[in-house]
Amino acid sequence: MRKLLHFALIFTLLSCEETDVSEFLDKPVVESYLYAEGSPTVKISKLIPFKSDMILSDTNIDQLKIGITDLTTGQKYPLQANGGGTYQNADLIVQAGNTYQLSFPYNGMEISATTLVPEKPVNFKLSATSISIAERGVAPSGSASPEMPFPVVLNWENTDQSYYLVYVKNVESVKEAINSKENKSDDFFRNQPTNSDHYQLNPQSFKFYGMHRVILYKIQPEYVIFFQNNSTSSISITEIKANVENGFGIFTAVNSLSVYLYVGKP
């Protein structure tokens, strides 16, 4: 569960609470991420019509008959409601390389979505395991400005043009800001989805000293669609159709590898 919540935070997903939309469609909103070797959570929410004369479905989002089928093995997993529109089945442990299908009836429609769980990234490496960055936001001791280190280059194998996303997070419990005037900055940053086999970490992206976890996520095309739409400030998850048939939202799978990078002072 912790990995799944972490993943949801990484990609800055908007809230799945009931939301007004400009054109009301009585369809559910799905949000679910299958993390290899984890047990998935499925979140269902409802749309609210923006006009009072529109009819809102009386379907109870906590009483849906939701199931996930492992299409690779044929095994079916009914999900149990946990309240608030969330569903789980601890017996379902997601396997890399397998294809999963979510399905459930809703207001006379059959809602479904399918995703393939990618394999772990291969040969993920950093060009350096530590860098030194001069403190910012203070008057320099000399006339010359401190030099910034070279970018850290990330490399991995990508022979099939798969999509990846890089996420970097400071893991120190007590955080020391590189710029003393920006001590409320986010302790993480990430790149746009890419189908390349390398990426450069700009030293100016780091906001804190200490150890950083660098995560390379292998993602699926439906998440790229979702990410691109969700990066637009005028649109929310309730208006995005990534891969959910007869509904909104996303049902996708990810896999990842992590390495660590230390940011110190000169």
- Top mean-pLDDT range of 18-32, 63-77, 181-195: 63-77
Residue 179 has pLDDT above 60, yes or no: yes
User: How many residues does the structure list for the chain?
Assistant: 266
Helix, strand, coil share of the chain (percent; to 5): 10, 40, 50
> How far is it, in rounded angstroms, from Cα 58 to Cα 60?
6
pLDDT of residue 75: 98
Residue 180 has pLDDT above 50, yes or no: yes
Question: Which residue would you say has higher pLDDT here, 178 or 13?
Answer: 178
pLDDT of residue 13: 41
pLDDT of residue 181: 82
Q: Tell me whether residue 108 is exposed, middle or buried, using C-beta atoms within 10 angstroms of its C-beta: 0 to 12, 13 to 18, 19 or more.
A: exposed
pLDDT of residue 233: 42
> How far is it, in rounded angstroms, from Cα 244 to Cα 29?
9
Segment 97-109, tens digit of pLDDT: 999 999 999 988 9
Predicted confidence band of residue 58 (pLDDT cuts 50, 70, 90): confident
